[in-house]
Amino acid sequence: MLFDSHAHIDDEKFDLDREEVIQRAIDNGVTRMINVGASMSSSARSIALAEKYESIYATVGIHPHDAKDALDTDYEQLARWTSLEKVVAIGEIGLDYYYDYSPREVQRSVFIRQLDIARQTKLPFIIHDRDAHGDVLEILKKEAKGLKGVLHCFSGSLEMANEVIKMGLYVSIAGPVTFKNAAKLPEIVTKVPLEYLLVETDSPYLTPQPFRGKRNEPAYVKLVAEQVANLRGIEIEILAKATSENAKKLFGIS
């Protein structure tokens, strides 16, 4: 009973076999999947997927890569979409200082405006944070007090993990935990309290071992969960149940 808390099944890489990918996930015990919006168009596709498949839920948001293209009308549309039953979060939103596809000042502004939508609509948020740990943490402390959310594909330090957990936020672990160069991540997954932990694939990206280099898909969340369970010294069933319950609690899914 696994829950892939972050996937992009609407991505064009799944255009030829999307139905089979979703069924393969279900066959591998993945009972719930969150399809995450990263632009206005992908948010719309995410909603369409959620409406078609019982096991899929949608989020809507503007990724920092696309922040430069955000319009005032987009925020209005994001807010309207949140009234739909299967839209469960705002995201993915945040900062990306690795690629800098959008100016950093614009990224920060768009990030803050979407946190405000999360506050107004009482939905949780999903954070994208790449090489921007300091600014992400600063904005969260100022703008996200009392809100629920998760830092997806966590890549920060143990100290940062402790800070966001103090805020009541979740930490989500993806395929890099299986990599040989995982560095500090294995230690972090052993120290994060189980009640604040999620697992994800970020499909079609960040494919876990032994399939690294190939297209990722939600069925592979089992490989992430197995590695996290091994590192923590617990049975996969315990890890799967806990992370599934955490995801349902965060996203308000019964």
- The one-character DSSP state at 55 is T
Q: What is d(CA 229, CA 38) in angstroms, rounded to the nearest whole number? A: 29
- Chain Cα centroid distance, residue 138: 20
Q: How many beta carbons lie within 10 A of that of residue 233, not counting itself?
A: 7
Q: What is d(CA 191, CA 180) in angstroms, rounded to the nearest whole number? A: 19
Ligand-binding annotation for 92, yes or no, is: yes
Two tokens, residue 117: 């939508």
Q: What is d(CA 122, CA 146) in angstroms, rounded to the nearest whole number? A: 10
Q: Nearest-CA neighbor of 8 among 217, 155, 221?
A: 217
Q: Nearest-CA neighbor of 178 among 128, 215, 129, 231?
A: 231
Q: What is d(CA 35, CA 201) in angstroms, rounded to the nearest whole number? A: 11
Ligand-binding annotation for 202, yes or no, is: yes
Two tokens, residue 237: 């069933």
Q: Nearest-CA neighbor of 58 among 80, 40, 37?
A: 37
Q: Nearest-CA neighbor of 149 among 65, 200, 90?
A: 90
CB of 198 closer than 8 Å to CB of 161: no
Phi-psi region of 146 (alpha: psi -120 to 50; beta: other; left: phi over 0): left
Binding site for a divalent metal cation, residues? 6, 8, 92, 128, 152, 202
Binding site, residues? 6, 8, 92, 128, 152, 202
